[in-house]
Copies of this chain bind each other. A is one copy, B any other.
Amino acid sequence: MTELRVLPVEGLPEIAEGDDLGALIAEHAQLEAGDVVVVSQKVVSKAEGRVVRLADVEASERARALAGDHDPRQLEVILSEATRIVRTRAPLVIAETRHGFVCASAGVDASNAPGPDTLVLLPADPDASAEAIRLTLRERTGKNVGVIVSDSFGRPWRNGIVDVAIGVAGLRPLEDWRGRRDRNGYELRATVVAVADEIAAAAELVRAKTAGVPVAIVRGLDVSGEGSGRELLMPPERDMFR
């Protein structure tokens, strides 16, 4: 029977700058070929040193205006990560990042940061982060796996956050069903499924359950191929919400 399993990778140490995440995962996980390894953005960013100390930040006029009664230095960091402000309601800022993601605080996050006065930024190139982990895993375990770097995003119109894929390596993030036909021969139009986002969401379920576990494995999809997280970004000319 076809089934999927979602397994937490337990026993990983607290991740710090310079850590080789791929090597640590290889050490703590029993991988199988075709697995997808889903890694929380937070530990990727920490390993890559994408951390800012608030003490090193000076807030601009604009950051002060947006901050409301919150720390304007935090807003300054958010603005420095953003290429476009989509919505603001102090102190909340929805912004487009330089990667093209539209998310709260341009992906800048204070939870799970290395210290109380630090902020964690998104990886500079999440696809490259995923690919580096994938190559290390292949080298250390001999297995070809897919890797997703995931982050929690809010959504317009719906409550709560869900994990999505911001970096992808070793799998196709979109499954294109166009041209396939349903049981009645009706063409399944407009059904390109964002499988990488669904994999990230499935992994988050097990990570949430085992609080503090930053890596999970989704087994049974037997992934292969190439792809990138950029494919999940709606091109501006097709974006009805730009």
Bound CA span A1–B210, Å: 10
28 sample A-B contacts, Cβ–Cβ < 8 Å, listed by A number: A1-B7, A3-B5, A3-B6, A4-B5, A5-B5, A6-B6, A87-B241, A92-B240, A101-B157, A102-B157, A110-B186, A110-B189, A111-B186, A112-B184, A112-B186, A114-B184, A152-B191, A156-B240, A156-B241, A158-B234, A159-B174, A159-B231, A159-B234, A160-B192, A161-B190, A162-B198, A162-B201, A193-B208
Does A225 interact with chain B (Cβ within 8 Å)? Answer: no
The answer to whether A3 and B206 touch (CB under 8 A), given A160-B174, A186-B111, is yes
Q: Which residues in B have their C-beta under 8 angstroms from that of A211?
A: 180
Please provide the 7 A-B residue pairs with the shortest distance between their CB atoms, ordered closest to farther.
Answer: A160-B194, A156-B241, A202-B202, A201-B201, A4-B6, A198-B201, A102-B157
CB distance from A3 to the nearest CB of B (A): 5
Does A51 interact with chain B (Cβ within 8 Å)? Answer: no
Q: How many copies does the complex hold?
A: 2
Q: Which residues in B have their C-beta under 8 angstroms from that of A5?
A: 3-6
Q: Which residues in B have their C-beta under 8 angstroms from that of A233?
A: 157-159
Return the CB mask of A98-136 against B: 1 if under 8 Å, else 0: 000110100000111111100000000000000000000
The answer to whether A198 and B194 touch (CB under 8 A), given A112-B184, A159-B174, is no
What is the total number of residues of chain A having a CB less than 8 Å from a CB of chain B? Answer: 77
Q: Is the CB of A185 within 8 A of B116?
A: yes
Contact pick for A191, options B87, B111, B191, CB 8 Å: B111
Q: Is the CB of A163 within 8 A of B198?
A: yes
Contact pick for A159, options B8, B101, B192, CB 8 Å: B192
Question: Which A residues fall within an 8 A CB radius of B?
Answer: 1-8, 10, 14, 87, 89, 92, 94, 101-102, 104, 110-116, 152, 155-164, 173-175, 177, 180, 182-195, 197-199, 201-202, 204-206, 208-212, 218, 220-221, 231-234, 239-241
Closest B-chain residue to A164, C-beta based? B158
Bound CA span A101–B3, Å: 30
CB distance from A221 to the nearest CB of B (A): 7
Q: Is the CB of B198 within 8 A of A204?
A: yes
The answer to whether A184 and B92 touch (CB under 8 A), given A157-B233, A208-B193, is no
